[in-house]
Amino acid sequence: MASADALYSNLRGDQPSRLRLTYADLAPVNLAIVCVSLTGYGSVGADASLPGYDALVQAESGWASLTGDPDGPPTKSGLSLADYIAGLTACLGLLAGVLDARRTGRGRDLDTNLYDSALAMLSYPAAWYLSSGFVTRRAPLSAHPSVVPFQFLATADGYVALACPKEKFYSALVTAIGMPELGQDPRFRSFGARHEHRDELVALLGGRFATRTTAEWLETLRGVVPIAPVRSLEEALDVDDLRRREMLAEYEHPTLGHVRSVGLPLRVGGFERTYRPGPRFGEGQKAVLAEVGYLAAEIDALAASGAFGEAPAAAAG
């Protein structure tokens, strides 16, 4: 720990202090160390001892109440977004903490958790409710709560996602789809009017979009208004498309063989992205321990005692 920039833990909230992984515990060894703790519900308070899982947090933070069809049950996202967002929050905190420690020579504790990270992502629905009492409700076809049209629409063979967050986009839309009268109709002439008459406008647009295929609507509207196809996972993960975008990660794994996955979504000037397998369990253990001062004999003794997991069974005599 004496030479480390940071210590990162992802444990139940009551565990970092019990295991002496806090700044107060480690500052005597390394004054500049940054101790990052990512937990389910935080490291203090009555909920600190609770285990945290993405599905539980999506339910408890109100996310699920905002997701799904209005006539259906509350719905969890298909991805573990609370986990991902909390991890990114912890990463951001770690980077800020290390930069500050290099500037000042002093580290600190940095604490974040799944639940608070999920609450922070409630964003404008939270501001609306806390400021005025307005409760955001689920809308059909993944519609935006206030901007119309800003939602999915069914086509003759699938769905498209359409967004008109500016008046110019709505005007361009109704002209391009051959319904310019919708731009002059008093019911739809402004954001407020379209919101008030949402059901009527969506019914008219829905009837028009159902007459042509997704590909035909994309050919007509892409570049005119914000529009995208609603694609399946297989379509989104088209290998040729990923490779074209430089988003395909490929490498050889010692046991799995040739592995392909989604690549890093960050481009850094002067840096060539390369991919390799993650370390296997225990790989690099001796090198890391030697770097912090353990002798080979000490490492072997720790391993034999079970410090790194179950000790190897003694050979039969």
Question: What pLDDT is stored for residue 309 in this prediction?
Answer: 80
Alpha-carbon radius of gyration of the chain: 27
Task: Count the domains in the chain.
Answer: 2
- Co-location of 12 and 113 in the same domain: yes
- Co-location of 118 and 165 in the same domain: no
The DSSP secondary-structure symbol of 10 reads -
Three-class DSSP category at 207: helix
Three-class DSSP category at 296: helix
- Co-location of 125 and 181 in the same domain: no
Whole domain around residue 151: which residue ranges? 140-230
- Answer whether residue 236 is part of any domain: no
- Co-location of 126 and 12 in the same domain: yes
- Co-location of 114 and 178 in the same domain: no
What is the CATH number for 203?
A: 3.30.1540.10
Locate the DSSP E strands across the chain: 6-9, 34-39, 108-113, 150-154, 159-163, 227-229, 248-253, 257-262
Question: What pLDDT is stored for residue 314 in this prediction?
Answer: 52
Domain end call among 103, 132, 161: 132
**Pairwise CA distance, residues 154 & 207, whole Å:** 9
- Answer whether residue 46 is part of any domain: yes
Three-class DSSP category at 55: helix
Question: What pLDDT is stored for residue 317 in this prediction?
Answer: 41
Average confidence (pLDDT) per 10 residues, the chain, 317 residues: 89 93 94 97 93 96 96 95 97 97 96 97 96 95 95 98 98 98 96 96 98 98 98 96 95 94 93 89 86 89 86 51
What is the CATH number for 102?
A: 3.40.50.10540
